[in-house]
Amino acid sequence: MDELVALCKRRGFIFQSNEIYGGLQGVYDYGPLGVELKNNLKNSWWKSIVYNRDDVEGIDTSILTHPDVLKYSGHEDTFTDPLVDCKSCGLRFREDQIPEQCIGEELTEPREFNLMFKTNVGPVVDDSSHAYLRPETAQQIYINFKNIVDSTSRSLPFGIAQIGKSFRNEITPRNFIFRVREFEQMELEFFVSPGEDEAWHKKWIENRVKWWVTQGIPNEKLKLLEVTGKDLAHYSKSTVDIMYSFPHGMEELEGIANRTDFDLGSHTKNQKDLKINAKVMDNKDSNTRLAIQNQDKEWIVPYVIEPSAGVDRGVLAVINEAFTIENLEENKKRTVLRFKKHLSPIKAAVIPLKRNNDDLVSLAHSVKSSLQKYQIGRVVVENTGNIGKSYRKHDEIGTPLCITIDFDSLDSNTITIRDRDSMRQTTISIDNVQQYFLDYYSNESA
Ligand code: ATP
């Protein structure tokens, strides 16, 4: 993990947030390469969940959330972790995450600590103006259910997908971007008829594992864990977590829950007129019926299957898998990020042999523009004048193709393309470079 963190900072993937003022714990910034990697991962999810299917719509909802949403969802009462203090050193932590220095010391009785961030909306700061930063993106999807059904004429089964920020005041943020206070989620709420929920739950578990494999996570590093007992959320009939072997241990990458009719049932008006199976709080505030008519024109409250993945945990997992140190001849080492090509932050680096030769540099810029126009991802000109150093840098940040412009490019119209993984170099005519680039990026799976 330490090597990963150092590489992420050195090369501009991820920085500690607010660092010049001492940093804010549990908050990170994504640098020039980090933002590309993160966007590529999110785009791949969106393609797989929205574009490649015919039964899912997208949405982008507000982060600021009305307190009633989180009252009826149960978050105000139950979104808590047990907090304890060490009587010897005064440190505060989660009861199930005792730091090494406090093991064996006397601890206070655990008390429940709510993880939601509260804020105020408008110029008056009192209880009447309070709102929350959402702790998950899902709730705003449920409360938009009728808007989506009315505007798209969807019938069951169908889903609503969202990618966005969530906030949790974690008691002990740790393990780099694994457990943070501000993070992004990729969530799908998939609405099905009661009775079809278990079959859909299974399908989504299989679908999601396959997707992680296409991101470069080997199947054998993933495990499915059936959540049981007190770890099972109050709304869930069954939850399966996709666990991944992170550098610090086997932990949750994504959760896939069968949330029954709890969510729509909690937020709907006229609860008594609908046959809601889940145990929900009496709702006197909602002004909307969150139900749908089945083929017999009966109003039913759909069940929800929810695959919910963390973007930041995904980024950590794909960097961890890509990170390789290879032994070369003469005791030399090569650090390579072997990202799947659709995830690589830079798609190609165009490198003029000499930085102060106008003809080479200008040709490099024109090759870059000819590739950039396809908008497959970022293409850069690497104008350091040192080919060896440029290759090392682009290996370390996972650039699949390095394209060298040398004097043969000027004299005989050829360029050399070096492949990141095999380090093989191929010389082709400049006229064919666009086709080479397009072919290279067209045969990818994600
Ligand atoms: P954990 O048990 O690890 O705290 P959780 O079960 O509370 O996670 P969910 O509420 O199921 O997590 O959230 C769905 C996904 O959001 C998780 O699988 C994870 O990838 C991501 N996630 C949740 N909390 C955090 C966090 N504090 N930092 C980063 N990602 C998070």
CATH number of 344-442: 3.40.50.800
Q: Answer whether residue 180 shows pLDDT above 80.
A: yes
Q: What is the mean pLDDT of the chain?
A: 94
246 lines ligand 1 (CB under 6 A): no
259 lines ligand 1 (CB under 6 A): no
What is the number of the ligand 1 atom nearest to the C-alpha of 254?
18
Domains in the chain: boundaries: 2-67+138-318, 344-442
Centroid of ligand 1 to alpha carbon of 308 (angstroms): 8
**259 CA to centre of own chain:** 21
Residue nearest to atom 13 of ligand 1 (CA): 308
Cα–Cα distance between 87 and 91 in angstroms, integer?
8
74 lines ligand 1 (CB under 6 A): no
Cα–Cα distance between 110 and 115 in angstroms, integer?
15
Q: What pLDDT is stored for residue 367 in this prediction?
A: 96
Q: Which residue has the higher pLDDT, 99 or 27?
A: 27
The model's pLDDT over 115-155, given as tens digits with 9 standing for 90+, comes to: 999 999 988 888 788 999 999 999 999 999 999 999 998 99
Q: What pLDDT is stored for residue 253 in this prediction?
A: 98
**156 CA to centre of own chain:** 27
The model's pLDDT over 325-343, given as tens digits with 9 standing for 90+, comes to: 999 888 889 999 999 999 9
446 band by pLDDT with thresholds 50, 70 and 90 = low
Q: Is the pTM of this model over 0.85?
A: yes
What is the number of the ligand 1 atom nearest to the C-alpha of 242?
18
Q: What pLDDT is stored for residue 49 in this prediction?
A: 98
Q: Taking residues 91-111, report their average pLDDT.
A: 90
Considering only the top CATH level, what class is 2-67+138-318? alpha beta
309 lines ligand 1 (CB under 6 A): yes
Question: Nearest 5°: phi and psi at 435?
Answer: -65, -40
Give the other-Cβ count within 10 Å of 428's Cβ.
15
Q: Taking residues 395-400, report their average pLDDT.
A: 97
Q: Taking residues 366-393, report their average pLDDT.
A: 95
The answer to whether the beta carbons of residues 68 and 140 sit under 8 Å apart is: no
Closest CA to 94 of 103, 79, 81: 81
What is the number of the ligand 1 atom nearest to the C-alpha of 135?
10
Residue nearest to atom 16 of ligand 1 (CA): 310
310 lines ligand 1 (CB under 6 A): yes
Which of 28, 136, 252 most suits a substitution to test ligand 1, by most atoms within 8 Å of the C-beta? Answer: 252
